[in-house]
Structure 1
Amino acid sequence: MLKCKEVVEKADALVDGMPLSWRERLAMRLHLIMCHHCRRYIRQLNALVTSLPHEPQPLDDEQTKRILKKIDSPGN
């Protein structure tokens, strides 16, 4: 059976609908049946993925400068 760490590593593929082998799908389902923490993680990841826009919007120069300034500021 999969460990929680392994479920987290495969969660992106599961949520994105990427193909998993029948053995991987079975192992994921068995683990998710027994582990409410991983079920919650998968639900939250799925909610995040569905709420994001599918096409990323490019940043303009001003937005890029603001982000870099925040990264470089001493409070981070």
Structure 2
Amino acid sequence: MLTCKEQVARSSDYLDGQLSFRERLMVRHHLMFCRNCRRFIRQMRLMQATLRALPEPPVEGVEALAERLAEQRRKDSPP
């Protein structure tokens, strides 16, 4: 059986579906017996759902970012 530390280390991969069949079974076995790790996984799922619900930030091109930084630098530099 996994320790809680090993479980936490695999949590992201477990939630993302990136574990092998054997590893998933080990994680699920641990979760059956460990209330604290079940709570941790529920919190991780809630966090993932919250992050997915956030609006996407606008994507800026490198050129636009460079221009904005240059403009800010011009404003901040003494005459």
Give the unaligned 5+ runs of structure 2. Answer: 59-64, 69-79
2-side partners of 1:52 and 1:6: how far apart? 25
Runs of 4+ in 1 over 3 A off after TM superposition: 53-56
1-side partners of 2:55 and 2:7: how far apart? 27
1:42 paired residue number: 41
Change (3 A) 1:57 1:31: same
The offset of 1:56, in angstroms, is 5.2
SS of equivalent residue, structure 2 residue 32: helix
CA RMSD of aligned residues (A): 2.3
Change (3 A) 1:8 1:55: farther
Aligned runs of 1:48-63 on 2, under 5 Å?
48-53=47-52, 57=57
TM-score by length of 1: 0.66
1-side partners of 2:7 and 2:24: how far apart? 10
TM-score by length of 2: 0.64
Number of aligned residue pairs: give it: 59
Give the unaligned 5+ runs of structure 1. Answer: 62-76
